[in-house]
Structure 1
Amino acid sequence: MQYRRADVKGGTYFFTVNLAERNKTLLVDRVNELRDAFKRVKTNHPFKMDAIVILPDHLHAIWTLPKNDSDFATRWGLIKANFSRSIAKNERINPSRTHKGERGIWQRRYWEHLIRDELDYQSHMDYVYYNPVKHGYVKNVIDWPYSSFHRDVEVGIYSADWGESDDSDGLFGERR
């Protein structure tokens, strides 16, 4: 079976992108290099960053692509490559990656999901922002520094205390 990715021009997508070695903290240790990689790619391949949270070993993001564009794969490839070039080569590289001339920083694949409607969008936004609490890095969403949650609080989309009380079903974007 051949895997087929969603291909909707101007679509909004949720992504999960992981480090190859899930016990590393490279993404928060080198967060400035990661931010620079995003900025460099957005210059030539624009997209709207609806939400992002950067955790030690993975990140979640929601992007909206330009009206006539569905090529998130190129963007992710460039972001990963730009970030990887900024990191000293000291990771473990398996023979398959060595043979292909690849680094061993990122998992080759990533998870993407085409956002279907407003409810799906809100669910995934909540999931992105609540993720550091879910993983036990912080007690409150506002306390995680590597998140666009702070931007969304500033503009009034979320309140600073969002996620602190269990007013909802307690899933914050996760399905039962």
Structure 2
Amino acid sequence: MYEYRKLTAEQQAELVKHCLSQGYPPHSPPHLIQDRQFYLLTAACYEHKCNMHTESRRQQLLDMIFERFGWSGNEERSASALTTNLRICAWVVLPNHYHLLVYVENFDILSELFRRVHGALSRQWNIEDNITKRKIWYCWSDRAIRSERHYYTTVNYIHYNPVKHGLVKSPYGWVETSVHWYLEGCGRQWLRDCWTQYPLQNYGQDWDNL
């Protein structure tokens, strides 16, 4: 998004033309790999503005995601989801973006799920802030999980994200993250071993330019 703005008008037109020729949307990131089981999904607020600046809004988003997407940690909660062939395995919600690690059987359902969640929250938050037609969300992107190592490194990346962005000093200091669920279900030693065995290194570098 931000690199696109740095291009000249001619360069922008050429880039859009190339995207269209490849069958991609003109500005949103293309979803190239759609036949895997696990994905890291990322959604960002428009221009990375902190539209989820309060804990209540972040929790509001999580509640709606759990309701529509399903949650692997609670079968009763998952049963009310829009679809039963998608489960959330890890998550974090920050003031201007969020990450989900999901299992999905039908990739085609994701666009509609994001549209419903983002649409409902955009209307509600604009009413709350007395703002008309404000664009809350930019887009969502996906990264296919390639291996067991990639999966657990992604879990670590998600849990470390609040620390990476300087919001807290410890992953346990952030509320809207699945690290607390893993802590309760797997234990602190499991999380430590996972961190040691699957280090981040340069994982996720520059992703926040979405």
Look up the equivalent residue of 2:59 and give its one-letter code: N
Give 1:37 shift.
1.9
Give 1:171 shift.
2.8
* Structure 1: stretches of 5+ with no match in the other structure: 94-102
Q: For residues 149 and 196 of structure 2, what CA distance do their matches in structure 1 show?
A: 19
Mapping of residues 90-129 of structure 1, within 5 Å: 90-91=130-131, 93=133, 103-107=134-138, 109-129=139-159
Give the aligned partner of residue 66 of structure 2.
39
Mapping of residues 10-89 of structure 1, within 5 Å: 11-26=37-52, 28-29=54-55, 30-42=57-69, 43-46=81-84, 47-66=86-105, 69-71=106-108, 72-89=110-127
Give 1:169 shift.
5.5
Give the aligned partner of residue 98 of structure 1.
none
Q: How many residue pairs end up in the alignment? A: 162
Contact 2:157 2:200 in 1 (8 A): no
Percent identity for Structure 1 against Structure 2: 23
Q: Deviations over 1:65-109 (max 9, x none)?
A: 13xx2222222112212222332344575xxxxxxxxx50100x2
Contact 1:123 1:174 in 2 (8 A): no
TM-score (norm 2): 0.65
SS in 1 for 2:91: strand
Aligned CA distance change for structure 1 residues 7 and 167 (closer, same or farther; 3 Å): closer
Aligned CA distance change for structure 1 residues 169 and 64 (closer, same or farther; 3 Å): closer
Give the aligned partner of residue 145 of structure 1.
175
* Structure 2: stretches of 5+ with no match in the other structure: 1-18, 25-29, 70-80
Look up the equivalent residue of 1:65 and give its one-letter code: V
Give 1:64 shift.
0.5
SS in 2 for 1:111: strand
Q: For residues 99 and 93 of structure 2, what CA distance do their matches in structure 1 show?
A: 7
Aligned CA distance change for structure 1 residues 122 and 167 (closer, same or farther; 3 Å): closer
